[in-house]
Amino acid sequence: MKALVTGGTGFIGSHLISYLLNKKARVKILVRKPDIAQKLFGKKVQLIQGDILDRPSLREAVNGVDVVFHLAAALGATPISHKEFFRVNAQGTENILKVCRKSGISRFVYCSTVAVSGDIKNPPANEEAPYNPDEIYEKSKCRGEEIALEFARKGLTVVVARPTWVYGPRDTRTLKLFRAIRRRRFIIAGKGTNLQHPVYVKDVAQGLYLCAQRDILKGEVFILGGNEFITVGQLINKIASLLGVELPSVKLPLWTLRPFGWIMGWSGKLLGFEPPLSPSKIAFFAKNRAYDISKAKRELGYRPKVNLERGLRQTLGWYVQNGYL
């Protein structure tokens, strides 16, 4: 396999590249900052400096590859405008799809998110759950997925992967959760009974690889999650136990936090910083995110290998070893 990975210096992308290299694939990375990629992978990969919004660099990047893994995206906590979210996550996706179609790429794997389905009223949900995005990140990723599936209908072999809540080494989002719990500055918003569906990042890398390997129909969608889901309260208590801390038993009603989250979220976008509280962060405590992964198991041979207890321990170990905790 000769693969191009966009977003290869990001959390999931960097683990996917390591997985591909272990499978003896030849890997190219489209990067804006080559120094980060060089630090991660050295000379094991071919670097193309560019951007998904720059078509000339895209044409150079896809030249000679047979599979494209598209993971580059503006993430939910990024302090950018709504317009910029769509420019990166929707227009950027369309840009690379157009280049892939002209270049005759044999397979395109689009890394979406289960968040395109919004709050799950009757969990677990499967791939047939209707689109119901709420936050701007979710809406922009949903539009990117729609564009990818439109290209599938036009003949390009597109497969959509929807990871659940991904955690593991190099994850800075979960690091913030670990830090807040360790400092005993963490109070659960709401009852803590909503479901989250964790998946270890190396299991997601396995699933993405299988999306490119299996002979499946164009336009298929697969949810990539772990073997278990858990309430937010149980998750927080597991992390607190690993850290050896006892958290306050106080829980704040969600309605008391939502106005502050909205104000802080907008302030962060206007002033260019990631706020400590935002609608997307509050959603972690308010929305059910639990999913059925049987389709990926059945059609891809996907097998999550790392359970939550082991995964959290490995994640904590990486944070400590690298001086983050």
Establish if 97 belongs to a structural domain.
Answer: yes
pLDDT tens series, the chain, 325 aa: 999 999 999 999 999 999 999 999 999 999 998 998 999 998 999 999 999 999 999 999 999 999 999 999 998 767 778 899 999 999 999 999 999 999 999 899 999 999 999 988 899 999 999 999 988 999 999 999 999 999 999 999 999 999 999 999 999 889 988 998 998 877 676 788 889 999 999 999 999 999 998 777 789 999 999 999 999 889 999 999 999 998 766 666 655 656 655 566 656 666 665 666 566 666 666 788 899 999 999 999 999 999 999 999 999 999 999 999 9
Establish if 124 belongs to a structural domain.
Answer: yes
Report the DSSP pairing between strands 195-196 and 230-231. Answer: antiparallel
Establish if 318 belongs to a structural domain.
Answer: no
State the CATH number of the domain containing residue 53: 3.40.50.720
Question: What distance in Å separates the CA atoms of residue 254 and residue 251, rounded to the nearest whole number?
Answer: 9
* Per-position DSSP letters for 118-145, written without gaps between them: -S-SSSSB-TTSPP---SHHHHHHHHHH
For residue 40, give its domain range.
2-171+198-227+290-305
Question: What distance in Å separates the CA atoms of residue 269 and residue 275, rounded to the nearest whole number?
Answer: 9
Establish if 190 belongs to a structural domain.
Answer: no
Establish if 233 belongs to a structural domain.
Answer: no
Helix and strand element counts for the chain (H, E): 13, 13
Say how far residue 278 (Cα) sits from the centre of its chain. Answer: 18
Establish if 21 belongs to a structural domain.
Answer: yes
Let me know: does 267 contact 171? Beta carbons within 8 Å.
no
Q: Determine the length of the chain.
A: 325
Q: How many domains does the chain have?
A: 1
pLDDT reported for residue 218: 80
**Which segments of 168-243 are extended strands (E)?**
188-189, 195-196, 198-200, 220-224, 230-231
Question: What distance in Å separates the CA atoms of residue 240 and residue 184, rounded to the nearest whole number?
Answer: 9
Task: Give 177's contacts (C-beta < 8 A, 6+ positions apart).
Answer: 186, 239
Establish if 268 belongs to a structural domain.
Answer: no
Establish if 313 belongs to a structural domain.
Answer: no
Model pTM above 0.85 = yes
